[in-house]
Chain A
Amino acid sequence: MENLAILPQLLMNALISGSILALAAVGLALMYGLLGILNFAHGQLMILGAYLLLFLSQTLSLPLLVAAPLLVFAGIFLAVTILHLTILPFRNRSPLLCLLSTLALSIVIESTLALLFGVNVQTLAVGLTPAIYQFAGVFVTSLQLLIVCSTLLILALVAVIMGYSPFGRAVRALAAHREGAVTLGNNERQTVTIVFALGTLLAIYGGVLVGYDQSLQPYMGTSFTIKAFAAMILGGLGSVGGAIFGSYLLALVENLAIGLDLGPWSIPAGFKDAFAFCVILLALLFRPEGLFQRGQRKF
């Protein structure tokens, strides 16, 4: 009975954390679907974006209307630099080299953030007192509503662009058959750069939401990378729709696992991540291509 009472709150919590995870997972899926590259520094890019906004808005005291566009430009610059320095040079030689270079990048980002900002927990929500709403036994802040609504809007926009715009068709064509697309005049380098920048900006926005809703710490990026991978694998590698589905499903499993009172079978909060990954392993045992895929990679 008690579990039934807290179930709506757990579902809301899953919706919030799933939204942030979906931003990361979709960015990763876009990159993997097009490039075949798993970017191990993706979670670190999220946190880097949040720290950049921290620097602009708190250290430099810039208003958000000025800091936000600067953050977008910085994100695009970072994306282009990372792509051309750590991914494209290795892409045609070995996927393993790409993995290793992005892993090295993740460590560089974390160490640099720790050096510049220290290891103490920080938050973007300094001085903010969001309103709290209650309905049907569920408590949610105005900030959390913004997280959910803005994420759903952004994901819908990405879906429309990828599914119905000329650019989205060109990206899907390049992912389907690289040489076929290039021999139609597709500028592969330009397309790849735009997609990578888009994925990075999605990650940065996710990191900013983490910074406002939770807290920031230089070494938290790895957890997001692993969960984004897990969500993408659960939904089907390279599938944007699958990444979204996997993200919300993973968030639901996590929140139910630690939130429900199962008596002696209750899952301790510290086991949250491990429990979720156990569920993923089970799901993949029965459906290795992912819950959303039909046995082959789709974009």
Chain B
Amino acid sequence: MLRVEELALKLGEVAILKGVSFQVAQGATVGIIGPNGCGKTTLFNCLNGFHRSAPGTIFFRGADISASSPYLRARSGLGRVFQNSGVFRSLTLYENLLVALEARDRVLFWNRQKVQHNRLIAQYLSDFGLSDKAHDKASSLSGGQLRLLEIARSVAVGAELLLLDEPTAGVSPKMKGDVERVLRKLVELGKTVVVIEHDINFIQNICQRILVMDQGRIVLDDSPVAIRSNPALQDIYFGGS
């Protein structure tokens, strides 16, 4: 599904990513952890096309997307949930999802599929527990509800691989459970999920594999149990002895 080869990125004179390589199979759930500033979000920004990495190659569904514009990568099925929420707060929940469906179906001036779209929106809002807020502005939602809306929007637009950047940051324990349930549902639907997280327990529960990043490199790539018991993880987060 996703293959990244020797991805490197410099911002000014500072090397942020240094030769990052990994693969993600279709239907897999992969977690990315690492200390603050190690390049996790920057990696996602490169995958989405907001930073043009050089050198390095990104293959998505077999195609080289390294030179593609961000919107073309999105149209090919690469979705994103942002760390600080990419929800359109001045639009209603209904409008947020409608924008996604209209983008998926390339509707620009006249929506002939309004009836089908309305039905899908009602279904998504029900699945994500947001039905009672359909016509409220997204700015009225809590942090956890914003996350759920953003994930629902990525599903609505037809993303096959979802890049989730700290989906449980600032979220209540109860809502964390909701987010976890939603992610499991996505996996059941055959979606591929790559998630950045700081909550090791959360990521251990839902991921089949964990990549550990440090100073712009992937330093560990293993199962959650193996990663957790690896003494190198302690050194990465707290410094070597």
Which residue numbers of A lie inside 8 Å of B, CB to CB? 165-167, 169-170, 172-173, 176-177, 179-188, 298-299
Q: A187-B71, A298-B90 are in contact. List 9 more A-B contacts (CB 8 A).
A: A167-B109, A169-B95, A172-B91, A176-B91, A180-B86, A180-B150, A182-B70, A183-B70, A185-B103
B2 to chain A, nearest CB (A): 15
Contacts of A186 in B (CB 8 A): 71, 103
Contact between B71 and A182, CB atoms less than 8 A apart: yes
Contacts of A169 in B (CB 8 A): 91, 95, 98-99, 102
Report the nearest A residue to B76, measured CB to CB: A185
Contact between B88 and A166, CB atoms less than 8 A apart: no
Contact between B157 and A184, CB atoms less than 8 A apart: yes
Contact between B102 and A166, CB atoms less than 8 A apart: yes
Within 8 A of A (CB), among B87-146: 87-91, 95-96, 98-100, 102-104, 107-111
Contact between A183 and B90, CB atoms less than 8 A apart: no
Report the nearest A residue to B73, measured CB to CB: A183
Q: Which of A165, A185, A298 contacts B71 (CB 8 A)?
A: A185
* B153 at interface by CB-CB < 8 Å: yes
Contact between A183 and B80, CB atoms less than 8 A apart: yes
Contact between B87 and A180, CB atoms less than 8 A apart: yes
Contacts of A184 in B (CB 8 A): 74, 99-100, 103, 153, 157
Report the nearest B residue to A298, measured CB to CB: B90
Contact between A179 and B50, CB atoms less than 8 A apart: yes
Contact between B71 and A170, CB atoms less than 8 A apart: no
Which residue numbers of B lie inside 8 Å of A, CB to CB? 48, 50, 70-71, 74-75, 78-80, 82, 86-91, 95-96, 98-100, 102-104, 107-111, 150, 153-154, 157
Given known A172-B90, A185-B75, contact A165–B70 (CB-CB < 8 A): no
Contact between A177 and B87, CB atoms less than 8 A apart: yes
Q: Which of A166, A176, A188, A299 has the largest count of B CB atoms less than 10 A from its CB?
A: A166
10 interchain residue pairs of minimum CB distance: A180-B86, A176-B88, A183-B80, A185-B75, A185-B74, A166-B102, A185-B103, A184-B103, A166-B107, A173-B99
B171 to chain A, nearest CB (A): 18
Given known A169-B95, A172-B88, A184-B99, contact A179–B104 (CB-CB < 8 A): no
Report the nearest A residue to B78, measured CB to CB: A183
Report the nearest A residue to B45, measured CB to CB: A179
CA A177 – CA B91 in complex, angstroms? 11
Given known A176-B88, A176-B89, contact A182–B109 (CB-CB < 8 A): no
Given known A167-B109, A169-B102, contact A182–B74 (CB-CB < 8 A): yes
CA A172 – CA B104 in complex, angstroms? 17
A-B contact pairs, 8 of them (CB 8 A): A166-B109, A169-B98, A169-B102, A172-B91, A172-B95, A176-B88, A183-B79, A298-B90
Contact between B111 and A180, CB atoms less than 8 A apart: no
CA A299 – CA B80 in complex, angstroms? 24
Report the nearest B residue to A188, measured CB to CB: B71
Contact between A185 and B90, CB atoms less than 8 A apart: no
Report the nearest A residue to B77, measured CB to CB: A185
Contacts of B109 in A (CB 8 A): 165-167
Contact between B157 and A185, CB atoms less than 8 A apart: yes
Q: Which of B82, B107, B154 contacts A179 (CB 8 A)?
A: B82
Contacts of B79 in A (CB 8 A): 183
Given known A166-B110, A173-B91, contact A183–B86 (CB-CB < 8 A): yes
Report the nearest B residue to A179, measured CB to CB: B86
Report the nearest A residue to B48, measured CB to CB: A183
CA A239 – CA B136 in complex, angstroms? 20
CA A126 – CA B150 in complex, angstroms? 58
B157 to chain A, nearest CB (A): 5
Contacts of A172 in B (CB 8 A): 88, 90-91, 95
CA A184 – CA B87 in complex, angstroms? 11
Contacts of A177 in B (CB 8 A): 86-89
Contacts of A166 in B (CB 8 A): 102, 107-111
Given known A183-B80, A184-B100, A184-B153, contact A173–B88 (CB-CB < 8 A): yes
CA A185 – CA B100 in complex, angstroms? 8
Report the nearest B residue to A297, measured CB to CB: B90
A272 to chain B, nearest CB (A): 36
Q: Which of A179, A182, A186, A299 has the largest count of B CB atoms less than 10 A from its CB?
A: A182
Contacts of A179 in B (CB 8 A): 48, 50, 70, 80, 82, 86
Report the nearest A residue to B89, measured CB to CB: A176
B184 to chain A, nearest CB (A): 23
A79 to chain B, nearest CB (A): 18
